Amino acid sequence: MNKIPAFGLGTFRLKGQVVIDSVRNGLEFGYRAIDTAQIYGNEADVGEAIAGSGVRREDLFLTTKIWVDNYAKDKLAPSLEDSLAKLRTDYVDLTLIHWPAPNNGVSLEEFMTALADAKARGLTREIGVSNFNIALTQQAMAVVGKGAIATNQIELSPYLQNRKLVEFLQREGIHVTSYMTLAYGKVLGDPVIGAIAQRHEATPAQVALAWAMQLGYSVIPSSTKRENLASNLRAQTLQLTADDMAQIAALERNGREVSPNGLAPQWD
């Protein structure tokens, strides 16, 4: 069962007052899912914004990600407890392994077992992975059980549609969460997306986000501007036609934006 909200607020690259304002504004507009990570260095700021918002914890869906330095079994749960303290909560709804980091000296079996243990202790409601290819997702499933992996959060945009991996995940019942859905803003200037946006009296960002959601993915766009935070939310009610979807499908160009050496797997 997919318990992951279709629409959330990303916080990548946002720190200090900038992320506090973004989360506070997002919560005011009705966002209820917030995505952060240990390496973002903003969990305490996110926690501060939530605490000041008046939104009840049970109405929120919080995601964080374990950084590669904390994958060892004696470090993973303590690092997550530190994240919870910063976020001012007793649990997160979803915890992900941030990158497979194949050469960092901790085996996949060790960190997936440690992640499952953290869930068993109640530190997180759900567990998952991020940036895993098919082979690594299969290995993770073998360690914790297929049904235990709630999502694989992957870079996915009209320019990087990741079809082989998506088909595998959907076949296995693992939810797809799309990050970088706007390809660092590159798709916003795309003439095809622009024309679709014009037809629907929508923004290009709304079109790209609606495309991903209509394919069944969750999206977590970030913004520092109030008007964009509000505008992006309206993607949830935008209905693209089959022709619109086919035109966007044709934009695939393997346009990957993020692939850090030593952290990324061999992409499918």
- Please give the positions annotated as active site: 40
Alpha carbon of 96 to those of 21, 52, 131, 172: distances in Å? 25, 26, 10, 18
Report residue 150 as tokens.
Answer: 């709630």
What tokens does 98 get? 């941030």
Nearest to 98 by CA among 142, 46, 38: 38
Closest CA to 95 of 74, 109, 111, 72: 111
Structure tokens given for 221: 């766009």
Q: Is 175 annotated to bind ligand?
A: no
Longest dimension (CA), the chain: 55
Residue 155 is which amino acid?
E
Reduced to 3 states, what is the DSSP secondary structure of residue 23? helix
Q: Give the side-chain half-sphere CA count within 13 A for 147.
A: 1
| Binding positions for substrate | 98
| Binding positions | 98
